[in-house]
Amino acid sequence: MARCDVCGNEYDKAFQVTMEGQTKTFDSFECAIHACAPACAHCGCKIVGHGVEGGGKYFCCANCAKSAGVEQLRDRA
């Protein structure tokens, strides 16, 4: 059995994710999201969906981007 790199749980259905040349082992998508998903530069929530990018930063939505001073992004066209 493999051990999750986040919570330490040993699980027979663990999986691995490789990002930027590093491979990590997880027992759940929750742990994978906690370890791999970017955080919003304004509110800090994990960006699980598409999110938006502006000024070299990632945001969960256009409202957070606007609150951080990035005006040109929109959630809808």
pLDDT in tens, 45-76: 999 998 999 989 999 999 999 999 998 887 77
Higher per-residue confidence, 11 vs 73: 11
* Domain span holding position 48: 38-77
pTM of the predicted protein model: 0.79
Same structural domain, 67 and 48: yes
Q: Are residues 32 and 42 in the same domain?
A: no
Q: What is the pLDDT of residue 68?
A: 93
Cα separation values, 13 from 17, 22, 26, 57, Å: 13, 20, 9, 34
In tens, the pLDDT along 20-38 reads: 999 999 999 999 999 999 9
* Residue among 14, 75, 19, 18 at smallest CA distance from 49: 75
- 42 shares a domain with 14: no
Identity at 71, one-letter amino acid code = E
Domains: count for the chain: 2
Q: What is the reported pLDDT for 52? A: 94
Residue 21 CA neighbour count, 13 Å, CB half: 0
32 and 50 co-located in one domain: no
